[in-house]
Amino acid sequence: MQTHQRLQRRLGVFDATAIGLGSMLGAGVFVVFSPATALAGPLMVVSVVIAGAIAYCNAVASAQLAAKYPASGGTYIYGRKQLGEWPGFIAGWGFVTGKTASCAAMALTFGHYLAPAYATPFAVAAVALLTAVNLMGITRTAFLTRILLGLVLATLVFVTVAGIAGPHPEPAGPGESVGSAWGILPAAGLMFFAFAGYARIATLGEEVKDPARNIPRAILAALAAAFVIYLGLAVLLLWHLSPQRLAESLSPLLDAVTSSGLSAGVPLVQAGAAAACLGALLALITGVGRTAMAMARERDLPAPLARVAGRHTVPFIAELSVAAVVIALLLTADVLTVVGFSSFGVLIYYAVTNAAAFTLAQRPGSAPRWLNAAGFVGCLLLAGTLPIASVAGMAAVLAAGVAGRFLVLRLRKLPPRT
Residue-averaged pLDDT of the chain:
80
Confidence at residue 6, expressed as pLDDT on a 0 to 100 scale: 56
Rounded CA-CA distance 68/23 in Å is 23
pLDDT at residue 1, rounded to an integer: 44
Query: If you average pLDDT over residues 298-309, what whole number do you get?
Result: 81
Q: Does residue 378 carry a pLDDT above 90?
A: yes
pLDDT attached to residue 178: 75
Q: Are 50 and 204 in contact (CB under 8 A)?
A: no
Q: Specify the range with the lowest mean pLDDT, choosing from 124-128, 240-244, 395-399.
A: 240-244
Residue 202 has pLDDT above 70, yes or no: no
CB contact set of 242 (below 8 Å; sequence gap of 6+): 169, 171, 172
> Using one digit for the tens of pLDDT, what is the confidence trace for 345-376?
888 989 999 999 999 988 877 789 999 999 99
CA separation for the pair 223, 25 (Å, rounded): 10
Whether the pLDDT of residue 133 is over 60: the answer is yes
Q: What is the mean pLDDT of residues 51-68?
A: 87
User: What pLDDT does 355 receive?
Assistant: 96
Quick one: pLDDT at residue 60? 87
Note the CATH number of domain 13-408.
1.20.1740.10
Confidence grade of residue 187 (pLDDT, cut at 50, 70, 90): confident
Alpha helices in 249-368 (DSSP H): 252-258, 266-297, 316-332, 341-358
Least confident of 172-186, 219-233, 242-256: 172-186
Looking at residues 406-412, what average pLDDT do you find?
88
Residue 413 scores a pLDDT above 90:
no
Give per-residue pLDDT as tens, 10-20. Answer: 676 777 777 77
Q: Which residues contact 100 (CB under 8 A, 6 or more apart)?
A: 288, 322, 325, 326, 329
Query: With 60 as the cut, is the pLDDT of residue 336 above it?
Result: no
pLDDT at 40 over 60: yes
Lowest mean pLDDT among 72-76, 134-138, 234-238, 401-405: 134-138
pLDDT score of 380: 92
Mean pLDDT of 15-38: 76
List phi, psi (to 5°) of 11: -95, 130
Side chain identity, residue 174: P
Measured CA to CA, the distance from residue 39 to residue 180 in angstroms comes to: 7
